[in-house]
Amino acid sequence: MNRKLLRRMTLPLIAVCLVLADCKGSSTTGPGPTTAFAVLRLNTTDGSPDTSFAGGRGIVTTDIDSGLFDFAIAAAVQPADNKILAAGSSGLAGSGVVALVRYNVDGSLDTAGFGTTGTGGIVRTSVAGVTAAGASAIAVQPNGRIVVAALTFTAATNTTGIALLRYTTTGPLDPTFGTGGIVPTATIGSGLAGDTCALALQGTNIIVAGASTSGNLVLYRYDTNGTLDTTFGTAGTTVTSLPGALSPAIAFQSTGKIILVSATNNDQAVLRYSADGILDATFGTAGIVTTDINNGSVNFANAVVVQVDDKIVVAGHANVNINGGTSDISLVRYNADGTLDTTFNATGTVPGIVTTDLNGGFDNAFSVALQTPLAATTNILVSGNTGAGGFSQMAVLRYNNDGSPDTTFGPTSTGVVIVSLVGPSNIASGNAVALQTNLGIVVAGYD
């Protein structure tokens, strides 16, 4: 099974299979249809399109470079003004650059406040010394500076790494960060262009993580100015052996402990570290919990969020069959100590685990968020895509706190919103979901 087909399956750094349904045992050789950034806003009550957004459409597409592949992989909402940031990549196969777009509250491009004359609202950044780069994660620091983690790929050695970039509030690279706004690539190891990396703010520190094809999870911690923090792990780095590891995601428990999710030998993997990057031996088995969702099926963890009670919610896809072009959305909740939470889907086949088959084809989850993050009882939002036969659409799902579908969400009272295609391609995905305060549910991806 080709590892690069299993995570988001969208980065245009080299020719990759764009959607799971296309993957009939081998990757495609052609580039497929070109794509554009897409940002959707739904009403928080029922999931209907927000007609106050994007001129009444509820969704806006941004074709950064006509004829190229534009993919938004990450999103953030600026706390100070509710403006939306979407980050990803733009380019032809093998030549992607970091792409960052900022939208006003109403979904229009922020042409006046972000970027440069002629390209207002859009910033493109190349990373020196690598074949290609694409943003995988984004965060806004308390001072409004924008931090991006970019997965880099070097074709000559088939290695990946993580470059950190920081932008000022108006879009230029921040010269006080790293070298001219960029912290040079930190090596992950052997990898593929379709991999992604993770980023999270830990107070004033910045933690990034990635995975190598040799089976290592790698974490780095930097201070607020982009200097490696040598008090973290071993001289600023933590390496954990995890056979079959895939691109991870990061969250924090209230104690400050770091939660990392990935995969191992086709199972979901959840790892816990101390705040300083030491694997927590009290969690699971020597710091690691693995979950076989359905008796030997292929499963992947793509996103994680921690509830106010420190329970861990992991979204991804289960029952993956590359040859058959099928998969199901998976949602797993663990107690704070890593044991399955049997109050979640309590009457299901396996309490603690929910799988959702939308159409009998491929259904994938790439992001998860809590609609009321500080409430003891909260709705769980998941975004991803669904489709078959080379055709895919954005999908947004909402679950109740007990794991049941929220029947107040979506047009058919099933807890599901599937978005009709509006962009230049016949493939689409919702790769990141976030909340815009007092406005709505924001989903960023491509179309």
Which are the contacts of 398, defined by CB distance < 8 A and separation ≥ 6? 47, 371, 379, 380, 381, 382, 405, 406, 409, 410, 415
Structure tokens at 377: 């009882």
pLDDT of residue 7: 42
Domains of the chain: 3-446 (2.130.10.10)
> pLDDT per residue over 24-61, tens digit each?
222 222 345 789 999 999 999 999 999 999 999 999 99
> pLDDT per residue over 296-324, tens digit each?
789 999 999 999 999 999 999 999 988 88
> pLDDT per residue over 55-70, tens digit each?
999 999 999 988 889 9
| Res. 239 pLDDT band, cuts 50 70 90 | very high
Taking 90 as the threshold, does the pLDDT of residue 116 lie above it? no
Where is average pLDDT lowest: 2-6, 110-114, 325-329, 357-361?
A: 2-6
| Res. 16 pLDDT band, cuts 50 70 90 | very low
Q: To the nearest 10°, the Cα dihedral for 382, 386, 392, 397?
A: -30
* Amino acid at position 67, single letter: G
pLDDT of residue 322: 83
Cα(69)–Cα(75) distance, integer angstroms: 18
For the chain, give the mean pLDDT.
90
Q: Which helix (H) or strand (E) holds 437?
A: none
> pLDDT per residue over 132-171, tens digit each?
999 999 999 999 999 999 999 999 999 999 999 999 999 9
Cα(407)–Cα(372) distance, integer angstroms: 17
Q: In 84-184, which residue ranges form alpha helices assigned H by DSSP?
A: none
Give 223-238 as a DSSP string. Answer: -TTS-B-TTTTBTTEE
* Amino acid at position 47, single letter: G
Contact 220, 207 (CB under 8 A): yes
Contact 396, 406 (CB under 8 A): no
Taking 50 as the threshold, does the pLDDT of residue 98 lie above it? yes
Nearest alpha-carbon partner for 270 in 237, 254, 293:
293
Nearest alpha-carbon partner for 274 in 319, 308, 240:
240
Residue 3 or residue 287, greater confidence: 287
Report how far apart, in Å, the C-alpha atoms of 438 and of each of 57, 274, 407 are.
19, 34, 22
Structure tokens at 75: 């999103």
Q: Please provide the distance, in angstroms rounded to a whole number, between the alpha carbons at the two ends of the chain.
A: 27
Taking 60 as the threshold, does the pLDDT of residue 245 lie above it? yes
Taking 60 as the threshold, does the pLDDT of residue 405 lie above it? yes
Q: Percent of the chain having pLDDT more than 90?
A: 78
pLDDT of residue 118: 57
> pLDDT per residue over 358-373, tens digit each?
988 999 999 999 998 8
